Structure 1
Amino acid sequence: MTATLPNVITALRLVMVPVAVILLIMDGGQDGAERWWALILVLLASLTDWLDGYLARRWNVVSSFGKLADPIADKALVLGILAALVWVDGIPWWPLAILIVREVGVTVGRLAVAKGVVIPASRGGKIKTVLQMTAICMYLVPGMPGWFDAIAWWVLVAAVVVAVITGVDYARMISRAARDHREGKNATDHDASRSATGGSEN
């Protein structure tokens, strides 16, 4: 139970994503009960993001699944809610477009090298997530004045800037991991070839 609970919490966060998106779309920008429930779910999802990592470290049960699934759950939550906000509230679409390109690129790259090495979330990536969640939660609060939404907008822009910077850093790490994996594989193949020929070279 101890070994699987953090992963169960991560999976639960993934389930919260479509529910929160559906509630936000159902509200349709009317600032009704559905929007409040969407906000509550997003806040709970943020709490589970902290909780699963805390439990995994406390119980020393950090897993490859958790290292990969946890950031994927974060990305699904952020991109899903942002897409709903673009649709319902009409916030500018370009931050969402940049974040989609960045998150898809990083996720695909991490999965591509997952056999050789698991690349965990960086500190910059965590800062980006905090900024994103702050902006989203501010946007979700019903009935706020225009200046409040303006602050949310600039927090979102800051999140996009951090996302681009950390995306470049992740690309470097993924490229290095892929190169090291290829070099290690080539060295192994070379050793195996030498063993097969008696270890002699002519």
Structure 2
Amino acid sequence: MNLPTWITVSRLLGVPLLLVLLQNPTGRSRWIALAIFLVAAGTDWLDGYLARKLNQVTDLGKFLDPLVDKLLVLAPLLMLIQLGQVPAWAVFLILARELAIAGWRVSQTTISGANVWGKLKTVSQIAAIALLICPPTMDTPAAAIAFWLSVGLTLVSGAIYVR
């Protein structure tokens, strides 16, 4: 495995920490969870940048990167359902899209990277989750707007990917 792939795999380390911190969140644990989430999300950009710059784009990296992204997004969303901040049916739509596209990708003979819609979807999800993880004193309509925008972009990007 090359450096970009190791960075992708290291992003997984943030997932269990997020789950623990959001299990019974306090203001402090939410700020820590937010920092971990943003660092982990930032490595998504870093691994892609390094893979391209170092000419180390691999099929393994193209496969693992979106899988790790899905885990990093879905883990906090599931905790946010438990906390009553997002409706389960909306998270189900996100999960269904992610599973459908993952299944679609596995059936392809070549693995393609994310298109611009997939990247917009990922950025919108990261922004929404970051706003939702913030302590309740920071809860604003912006978090709800960002969440519903990310749900919409998730569905649109899935439809475009399959088309």
Aligned residues: 163
Q: Which amino acid aligns with 1:36?
A: W
Task: Give the SS at the match of 1:108.
Answer: helix
Please say if 1:158 is aligned against 2:149: yes
Match of 2:95 in 1: 100
Residue of 75, 85, 109 corresponding to 2:80? 85
Change over 3 Å in CA distance of 1:145–1:63 after alignment to 2:
closer
Shift of 1:93: 1.9
Residues 66-102 of structure 1 deviation map (CA, whole Å, 9 limit, x = unaligned)? 1111111111111111110110244222220100000
1:18 to 16, 19, 27: 16
Do residues 130 (structure 1) and 128 (structure 2) align? no
Deviation at 1:34, TM superposition (A): 2.1
Q: What residue is the counterpart of 1:188 in the other structure?
A: none
SS in 2 for 1:144: helix
Equivalent position of 1:139 in the other structure: 132
Q: Share of identical aligned residues, percent? A: 36
Match of 2:112 among 111, 119, 127: 119
Q: Displacement of 1:145 after TM fit?
A: 4.7
The letter for the 2-side match of 1:25 is Q
Higher gyration radius (CA)? 1
In 1, the alpha carbon distance for the partners of 2:62 and 2:86 equals: 31
RMSD across aligned positions (CA) = 1.5
Cα distance in 1, alignment partners of residues 160 and 87 from structure 2: 26
- The answer (yes or no) to whether the contact 2:90–2:151 under 8 Å persists in 1 is yes
Q: What is the alpha-carbon distance in structure 1 between the residues aligned to residue 102 and residue 68 of structure 2? A: 11
Whole-angstrom distance in 2 between the partners of 1:107 and 1:142: 32
2:45 equivalent to 1:50: yes
* TM-score (norm. length: structure 2): 0.93
Q: What TM-score do you get using the length of structure 1 for normalisation?
A: 0.76
CA distance in 2, matches of 1:62, 1:158: 30
**1:167 aligns to what?**
158
**Cross-structure match for 1:199:** none
Distance in 2 (CA, whole Å) between partners of 1:145 and 1:42 is 17
